[in-house]
A = this chain, B = another copy of it.
Amino acid sequence: PPALRCIKKVVLMLAIQKAFLSGIKKPFTEVIKANIGDAHAMGQRPITFLRQVVALCTYPNLLDSPSFPEDAKKRARRILQGCGGNSLGAYSASQGINCIREDVASYIERRDGGVPADPDNIYLTTGASDGIATILKILVSGGGKSRTGVMIPIPQYPLYSAAISELGAIQVNYYLDEENCWSLDVNELRRSLNEAKAYCHPKVLCIINPGNPTGQVQNRKCIEDVIHFAWEEKLFLLADEVYQDNVYSEGCQFHSFKKILYEMGPEYYNNVELASFHSTSKGYMGECGYRGGYMEVINLHPEMKGQLVKLLSVRICSPVSGQAAMDIVVNPPIPGEESYSQFIKEKESVLNNLAKKAKLTEDMFNKVPGVHCNPLQGAMYAFPRIFIPAKAIEEAKAHKMAPDMLYCMKLLEETGICVVPGSGFGQREGSYHFRMTILPPIEKLKILLEKMKDFHIKFLEKYA
């Protein structure tokens, strides 16, 4: 079935890694998993305040302990009051705990300079993926005779292609412009849409901003163009904004689709259907294991909303400890509170480090012959283009393998560095890439980048 073929891509790299590790000779001392955005696994420390609150909720006896700060206790009490029987062990409503949805709405209002947000439009999810998959299910299930088309960027995070394929919808590709820092051009959206209309009914437009795997941060003009396009073409907008806190480049700034939509006036704000997604897994907290997330959905048709609630109720509720973690992401310590200075120190330390590593990675890759790397404006990945010599392409073909897969396998075999081939994300025919996280600690990252440079030069020589 197509779903499984598609999912295959996602896990191929891990399979390789496992197969390889079961082998014997290893010309390196450790495998570095730069293939997945898993901050804590790479040594990033949790945000103390977040963990204090979740621990207090887990074991409320600690509410009497003098070693926990008052602001953490206050938040824990508020969360527990929202739980059945004051316990993280009770099911929550399918949409999520009420007071946490209120906190999410307040966060969005603050983030968007006062644009109103309604807790009733907020749904707490099991990571962002749960929300994305569920919304797609609703939108596709409503399709008529011709199959539903879902527009996604290429390159894209393969969750999208997998979900689209599993739902029996049609994947409609639009290409990001690598020559212009992976920017999104509305003319390319129009080309893609017009071609797709011949064979499906395009209903959804997915945007990933900041980009995964491409790391670009969209400017206000670009977002306005996209919204106007979606309005004109009556497309449902899916804004994957899980990297909203991960913006590094000078002059770049995160703009939420919701805010820009509002500022474009009521004709847009009252009509364009928009779902935007956030998560505990990325940003400065990197709490992937909690599977926490939310989505805000506006202008959804009431009937669709009913279907959404029903679908969400099948999984009863998202993990309640993940909901608690999400609450702290949207309701962190504020100036004047006891934990504020430590929180800000920890948060800024993570983000400043990521910014340094983003610059370092771009600079190092661009010094390697046959490698081109766009600025890592945001998110936590590099997606450099690599030149692969004709001889290597032939060898890959002989093994029925994508050329960049061959490249990544050789890299893993020779250096222990695990990255994901660009073919897993999609790329223009004849171009080759890989995705690498910038999460390893900076000293380790430097060594890793040096090793990759040496590998690449040897690779070019070998297949010259």
* Chain A residues in the interface with B (C-beta under 8 A): 1, 3-4, 7-8, 10-11, 14, 36, 38-44, 46, 51-52, 54-55, 58-59, 62, 65, 67, 83-85, 87-92, 94, 126-127, 129-130, 141, 159, 162, 285-291, 307, 309-311, 313-322
Among candidates B8, B36, B289, B318, residue contacting A83 with C-beta atoms closer than 8 Å = B289
Asked if B319 and A291 sit within 8 Å, CB to CB, the answer is yes
Minimal Cβ-Cβ distance residue in B for A286: B89
Q: Which residues of B contact A41 (CB under 8 A)?
A: 84-85, 87, 90-91
With known contacts A54-B59, A58-B54, A84-B38, A287–B318 Cβ distance under 8 A:
no
Known contacts being A41-B85, A44-B85, is A319 close to B307, with CB within 8 Å? no
Give the complex CA separation of A318 and B159 in angstroms.
16
The answer to whether B310 touches A11, judged by C-beta atoms less than 8 angstroms apart, is: yes
B316–A91 contact, CB under 8 A? no
29 contacts between A and B (CB under 8 A): A7-B310, A10-B314, A11-B94, A11-B310, A11-B313, A36-B91, A38-B84, A38-B90, A39-B90, A40-B84, A40-B85, A40-B87, A40-B90, A41-B90, A42-B85, A43-B85, A46-B87, A51-B59, A55-B58, A55-B59, A58-B58, A88-B289, A90-B288, A126-B319, A129-B316, A289-B319, A290-B319, A291-B318, A291-B319
Tell me the minimal C-beta distance from A210 to chain B in angstroms.
20
Using Cβ atoms and an 8 Å threshold, which residues of chain B touch A141? 1, 3-4
Closest to A37 in B: B91
**Residues in B neighbouring A40, C-beta threshold 8 A:** 83-85, 87, 89-90
Inter-subunit contact B320/A289 (CB<8 Å): yes
Q: Which residues of B contact A291 (CB under 8 A)?
A: 126, 317-320
Q: In the assembly, what is the distance between CA of A3 and CA of B314, in Å?
A: 10
In the bound complex, how far is the Cα of B322 from the Cα of A317, in angstroms? 13
